[in-house]
Amino acid sequence: MSKIEIKKLSINYGKNEIFNNLSLNIKENSYTAIIGPSSSGKTTLFNEIIKKNKKIKINGNLNYILTDPNKQIVAKTVEKQLKFFLEMEGYTKRQINTRTNNIVAYFELDDILDLDPYKLSEGEKQLVVLCSILVLDLDILIMDNGLCRMNYNLKQKVLDYFKKLKKKKITIVNFASDVGEIVGSDYTILLDKKIVFNEKTKDVIKNNKLFEENNLELPFMLDITNKLKYYGLVKNNVKNVDELVDELWK
Amino acid sequence: MEIILNNIDVGPFKNLNLCVFDNKITAIIGSNGSGKSILAEMIATTRKPEKGLYIIDGNKIDLNSKNVNFNQLRFDVGIVMQNLRTQFFEGTVEEHILYQLKVYNYKKCEKRVLDSLKMVDLSYEYLKRKIKTLSDTEIFKVMLATVLSINPDVIVLDDPSCFLDKNEIDKLIKLLKIMKIKYNKTIVITSINAYFVLKLADYIYVIDNGKIVMHGEKYEVFNKKKLKDIDIHIPEIIEFQNKFLKTIKSSINYRDNVNDLIKDIYFNIEKRSRGKK
């Protein structure tokens, strides 16, 4: 079943045409990364989805994360922010405490719990806002470049968390400007005012040509292994830098 | 222009000493919440220190004294901050850039507007576009154009790579390098994007918990194992080259892009297999 169905969506800003009859289905219980160059319509499509444009059918409950975390800060301390949406949606006290404690432990938020979210850095704000949504029973989570201010290590941690979430049957759609965020996703979609491709991520990452044609940069490890394979210097798949050097130096 | 922060207290930083070298690209890196933006604003003199002095090209300046010429400082240092949309009023791109120029009493403003748009690669069609219809990337470019139109000696960019795709990042790198080499600008960036820093910076400051924990030339800094303890991502291309050099004991140069690296590897492996025969 499709969680989000977009049928023949056309959008223009004055003379400036963004989409012309764009159609797209997002599969249930999948993590889809939507990448695309600047001004390709990522934010526009995101906005149309959360505004529930008539051409877009959403089969389920939608939660979203905006690029600017300041727009989603609603409480005076980080702890209150983490509990805010849980309380609003009427979870029991016990549920609220367990869920908050779990997320605090996973993302190591202990030190900032009593702080005013507005006083945090932009990257920390993004994390806190994301966490305040992640504690809910999610059905569909859609993000507009919501990880962009996070550093590499934190981003990996969030992407790992998404993998855990998938076991709970959650559909995640991530509009990202960083191609690295496709790691761990099921589907990768390249958007450039139309759907350029919509493929399984495991096929996409093997295909250097697809990336070069579309002027995208593969994450380093994938890029270098693909190229070394092309020259016949590496035969097997490798996971990290150590394995790669060993494989080269057999 | 050289800017030295001398014994400065600000936010989490105590007795901070930092030098922005003339005509170099200085990068400030650190994990989320380490204070990068505070330092960017400090260097741009848009945030006052609680204590301490600036030494700008050898002249001591106390920002807390009454006779500081802030207008001159704004001429000297331009900054593009992180929260892009808060730096705008309603109106068109042209109105926004012109407003800034008129504040500083510039003449021939129209030409400056056109030139600055050209530099950031925005077509003239954007002049009449309303700011609120622009994407985040376009807003960043307009902000950068606004700073460039004033032609400051020092350009500070607080985490510019966040909204940009690879193509735009490459363009920005090229632009900033031209600014440095051709127009002798001094450039400061903060970033969480290790590749961007690797490709662009000359000198790096690493900050953690209100302290400068290390600083130096870029390859020197990225080679320190300690970076991992303070949660800084070392670009895999550097890790790979270190491991390669250690295992293979051969002479590859540090590279910042994969295509050059592949040639080195190929050459080394070839040489080795010839040696075996």
Among candidate residues B233, B251, B269, the one where a domain is terminated: B233
Q: DSSP class of residue B92?
A: B
* Whether residues B82 and B178 fall in one domain: yes
Token look-up 């491709």 returns A197
- Residue-by-residue DSSP string for B171-240: HHHHHHHHHHHTT--EEEEEES-HHHHHHH-SEEEEEETTEEEEEEEHHHHHT-GGGGTTT-PPPHHHHH
Task: State the pairing for strand pair B13-20/B3-10.
Answer: antiparallel
- Does the distance separating the beta carbons of A248 and B244 come in below 8 Å? yes
Token look-up 């051409």 returns A55
Domain total of chain B: 2
Cβ density class B174-193: b for 16+ within 10 Å, e for less: eebeebbeeeebbbbbbbbb
- Does the distance separating the beta carbons of B240 and A231 come in below 8 Å? no
Nearest CA in chain A to B84: A68
* Whether residues B261 and B222 fall in one domain: no
* Whether residues B262 and B222 fall in one domain: no
Contact assessment for residue A152 and residue B192, using Cβ atoms and an 8 Å cutoff: yes
Q: DSSP class of residue A111?
A: G
* Whether residues B161 and B200 fall in one domain: yes
Judging contacts by C-beta atoms under 8 Å, the chain A residues touching residue B261 are: 224
- Does the distance separating the beta carbons of B247 and A233 come in below 8 Å? no
Q: What is the torsional sign of CA A84, A86, A87, A93?
A: negative
- Does the distance separating the beta carbons of B168 and A150 come in below 8 Å? no
Residue A151 has a pLDDT of: 85
Minimal Cα–Cα distance from A215 to chain B, Å?
A: 7
- In angstroms, the Cα distances linking B177 to B169, B173, B203 are 12, 6, 14
The token duo for A44 is 């526009």
- Does the distance separating the beta carbons of B32 and A43 come in below 8 Å? no
* Whether residues B268 and B176 fall in one domain: no
B37 lies within 8 A of chain A by CB: yes
Q: Which helix (H) or strand (E) holds B52?
A: strand B51-56
For B167-220, the pLDDT digits (tens) are 889 899 999 999 999 999 999 999 988 889 999 999 999 999 889 999 999 888
* Whether residues B163 and B200 fall in one domain: yes
B153 lies within 8 A of chain A by CB: no
- Does the distance separating the beta carbons of A242 and B243 come in below 8 Å? yes
* Whether residues B67 and B102 fall in one domain: yes
* Whether residues B229 and B242 fall in one domain: no
Nearest CA in chain B to A224: B258
B255 lies within 8 A of chain A by CB: no
Flag whether the ipTM exceeds 0.85.
no
- Does the distance separating the beta carbons of B82 and A122 come in below 8 Å? yes
Helix B109-119 with B136-150: angle, nearest 10 deg: 130
**What count of other Cβ atoms lies within 10 Å of the Cβ of residue B198?**
21
Question: What whole-number distance in Å separates Cα of residue B34 and Cα of residue B193?
Answer: 15
- In angstroms, the Cα distances linking A175 to A26, A46, B138, B194 are 13, 8, 17, 21
Question: What whole-number distance in Å separates Cα of residue A214 and Cα of residue A209?
Answer: 8
CA A79 vs. chain centroid, Å, equals: 24
Contact assessment for residue A176 and residue A145, using Cβ atoms and an 8 Å cutoff: yes
Question: What whole-number distance in Å separates Cα of residue A24 and Cα of residue B98?
Answer: 42
Question: What whole-number distance in Å separates Cα of residue A129 and Cα of residue B193?
Answer: 21
Best probe of the B interface among A177, A230, A246, by most B CBs < 10 A, is A177
User: Please, which residues bridge with residue B80 across strands?
Assistant: B157
Question: What whole-number distance in Å separates Cα of residue A33 and Cα of residue A180?
Answer: 10
Residue A224 has its nearest CB partner, among B83, B231, B258, at B258
Nearest CA in chain A to B266: A233
- Cα B18-B21-B25 angle, rounded to 5 deg: 105
What number of CA atoms fall less than 13 Å from residue B40's CA on the CB side?
25
Minimal Cα–Cα distance from B49 to chain A, Å?
A: 17
Task: State the pairing for strand pair B51-56/B3-10.
Answer: antiparallel
User: Please, which residues bridge with residue A19 across strands?
Assistant: A11
User: Please, which residues bridge with residue B56 across strands?
Assistant: B3, B59
Question: What whole-number distance in Å separates Cα of residue A192 and Cα of residue A179?
Answer: 14
- Does the distance separating the beta carbons of B31 and A177 come in below 8 Å? no
* Whether residues B246 and B191 fall in one domain: no
Question: What whole-number distance in Å separates Cα of residue A140 and Cα of residue A61?
Answer: 6
- Those residues of chain B that have pLDDT short of 70 are 84-89, 249-251, 276-277
Long-range contacts, A11-17 (Cβ 8 Å, 24+): A11/A41, A11/A44, A11/A48, A13/B133, A17/A193
Task: State the pairing for strand pair A56-58/A2-13.
Answer: antiparallel
What's chain B's length in residues? 277
Question: What whole-number distance in Å separates Cα of residue B205 and Cα of residue B29?
Answer: 6
CATH number of A2-201: 3.40.50.300
CATH of the domain at B172: 3.40.50.300
- Residue-by-residue DSSP string for B43-103: HTT-S--SEEEEEETTEEE-TTSTT--HHHHHHHEEEE-S-GGGG--SSBHHHHHHHHHHH
- Does the distance separating the beta carbons of B265 and A233 come in below 8 Å? yes
- Those residues of chain A that have pLDDT short of 50 are none
The token duo for A10 is 């056309």
The values of phi and psi at residue A87, to 5°, are -65, -40
Which domain covers residue B149, as residue numbers? Answer: 3-233
Nearest CA in chain A to B231: A153
Residue A6 has a pLDDT of: 94
The token duo for A206 is 């093997």
The values of phi and psi at residue A174, to 5°, are -120, 110
* Whether residues B134 and B216 fall in one domain: yes
Judging contacts by C-beta atoms under 8 Å, the chain B residues touching residue A228 are: 262, 265
Question: What whole-number distance in Å separates Cα of residue B227 and Cα of residue A179?
Answer: 24
Residue A4 has a pLDDT of: 95
Residue B276 has a pLDDT of: 66
* Whether residues B180 and B245 fall in one domain: no
Question: What whole-number distance in Å separates Cα of residue B257 and Cα of residue A245?
Answer: 17
Residue B133 has its nearest CB partner, among A13, A216, A245, at A13
Residue A5 has a pLDDT of: 94
* Whether residues B277 and B198 fall in one domain: no
- Cα B24-B25-B27 angle, rounded to 5 deg: 135
Which 195-254 residues of chain B touch chain A by CB within 8 A?
195, 231-233, 235-237, 239-240, 243-244, 247-248
